[in-house]
A and B are shown apart, each in its own frame.
Chain A
Amino acid sequence: SAVISQKPSRDICQRGTSLTIQCQVDSQVTMMFWYRQQPGQSLTLIATANQGSEATYESGFVIDKFPISRPNLTFSTLTVSNMSPEDSSIYLCSVERGDEPYEQYFGPGTRLTVT
């Protein structure tokens, strides 16, 4: 498996502001993913972040709203921009390790509340 940490673990933010969430992995990984889980819902993929290239966004998610950085093979950030109450969710990063193909492991998540 992989040891994944996320910061912050939770935050309460005001409408119109932005929050950057960090994801750190204990080893180099090729594929990193960002998911959102809205209250009472399942996980939805926001984007895939590969080092050295731009993130690939899923339908319904755009770079202006959710800019992502992937500066190296152990770290990524997701920014939630110009927040509204509808952005209140748990945000999770996950990784797929090359030596355990197809298995994805999740970080502890960031619980975001927008007031």
Chain B
Amino acid sequence: EDKVVQSPLSLVVHEGDTVTLNCSYEVTNFRSLLWYKQEKKAPTFLFMLTSRGIEKKSGRQTSILDKKELFSILNITATQTGDSAIYLCAVSTTGANSKLTFGKGITLSVRP
């Protein structure tokens, strides 16, 4: 059974801090790893990492994939209160149906 584990489950930081969110996975036929930010209902797409793109950066966010060790990190620098959200990691596998297996999510709270 495919498994995605995120840690820590929750995190409280102050504005300006740097945070690192972790995601490890055990899946058969790995295709890609995706990070989402969920503030209300809908997860917002952040990054997708595959064997062709193992590090992606957007503004203050950087995500890295280690395919050998089967994990990914999402790093956020100079955090702001607007970064407060649930961060979801999901893994996609090859096959006819591109299903995503999600981790439980990391609740990040950024205090002023």
Contacts and interface: CB of A to CB of B under 8 A. Distances in A.
Contacts of B97: 31, 48, 56
Contacts of B104: 41-42
Contacts of A31: 97-98
Interface of B: 31-32, 34, 36, 40-45, 48, 50, 88, 90, 92, 97-105
A54 interface: no
B48 A103 contact: yes
Given A41-B104, A42-B104, A42-B105, A105 B45 contact: yes
A106 B34 contact: no
Contact of B102 (A42, A105, A107, A109): A42
A43 B41 contact: no
Contact of A104 (B41, B45, B50, B103): B45
A42 B88 contact: yes
Given A102-B34, A103-B34, A109-B42, 17 more contacts: A1-B45, A31-B97, A33-B100, A42-B88, A42-B102, A43-B88, A43-B102, A45-B100, A48-B97, A92-B41, A94-B100, A102-B32, A104-B34, A104-B45, A104-B98, A106-B44, A107-B42
Contacts of A90: 41
A56 B32 CA distance: 21
B36 to A, nearest CB: 8
25 contacts: A31-B98, A33-B100, A42-B102, A42-B105, A43-B43, A43-B102, A45-B99, A45-B101, A48-B98, A48-B99, A56-B97, A92-B43, A102-B32, A102-B50, A103-B34, A103-B48, A104-B45, A104-B92, A106-B36, A106-B43, A106-B44, A106-B45, A108-B41, A108-B42, A109-B41
B9 to A, nearest CB: 11
